[in-house]
Amino acid sequence: MDIDQSSSPLERAALLERAAKYAALSDPARLRIVDLLTLGDLSPTELQSELGMPANLLSHHLRSMELAGLAVRHRSEADKRRSYVRLAPGALEGLTPGREHRARRVLFVCTRNSARSQLATALWRTASDIPAVSAGTHPAEHVAPGAVDVARRHGLDLEGAKPRLIDHVAGAEDLVITVCDNAHEELPGLQGIHWSIPDPVRLDSEQAFEDAFADISRRVHDLAPRLRAA
């Protein structure tokens, strides 16, 4: 491939990176995988079920996507034998996802409803007019202090938030987004979206909460423009 030699090395590298992504996305199956991953993280088993594809062919597609900088994999915090596939940071720069959804309300769920789901709800309310609530499968007694602190540092208020049980909150028409591997795997029949976000409470450090906040913020601001009020 001929590249304009007057461009800088960085510009040429960026062009080659974009070309690799477009080449990877020229396959309909990989394009479908990207559409699914723009909504949330999926395990290879879940992708197989969604696509009706044998494991060896899916593995080939995922390797090609990883090499093109479109996808990354990591181990589940709950079941170490399980992994999740997510879009790589910046994977879709310059590309437009192909799916749009309607929602009456968004319900963010994690196990304890003490950090990730609370932060996701607070962030969602700054990004969308669609109502949002949060809940836990085994709610804690209070919101984690680290979550309250990181929210405050970013101009959000979790002081009055209280963890609640999903059975007391969930509605039939909610778009459910699990933000915790344990909750996602505990609710296997639940239709919705999954974001595999590491638990900041486990490390209980300022950096862990900042990392979780940044991950959730990016996902919220990616998804919010793609949802329309039902």
Look at residue 9 and tell me whether its pLDDT is greater than 90: no
Residue ranges per structural domain of the chain: 9-87, 101-229
Look at residue 98 and tell me whether its pLDDT is greater than 50: no
> Binning pLDDT at 50, 70 and 90, where does residue 8 land?
confident
- Which pLDDT does position 198 carry in this prediction? 96
- Which pLDDT does position 16 carry in this prediction? 82
Condensed to tens digits (0 to 9), the pLDDT of residues 32-50 reads 999 999 899 999 999 999 9
Long-range contacts (CB closer than 8 Å, 24 or more residues apart) made by 69-72: 69/17, 69/20, 69/21, 70/21, 70/24, 70/25, 70/30, 70/34, 71/33, 71/34, 71/37
Give the Å distances, CA to CA, from 207 to 114, 146, 180, 183, 202: 17, 10, 18, 23, 12
CATH number of 9-87: 1.10.10.10
The residue with greater pLDDT, 173 or 94, is 173
Angle separating helix axes 145-153 and 116-127, nearest 10 degrees: 30
Q: Residues with Cβ < 8 Å from 198, sequence gap 6 or more?
A: 77, 208, 211, 212, 215
Round to whole Å and give the CA distance between 119 and 103.
Answer: 20
The residue with greater pLDDT, 225 or 131, is 131
Half-sphere CA count of 14, side-chain side, radius 13 A: 8
pLDDT over 70 for what percent of the chain?
A: 94
Condensed to tens digits (0 to 9), the pLDDT of residues 188-215 reads 878 899 999 999 999 999 999 999 999 9
> Binning pLDDT at 50, 70 and 90, where does residue 100 land?
low
The topology (CATH level 3) of 101-229 is Rossmann fold (3.40.50)
* pTM, two decimal places: 0.78
Look at residue 138 and tell me whether its pLDDT is greater than 80: yes
Tokens of 85: 């596939």
Determine the average pLDDT of the residues in 87-102. 72
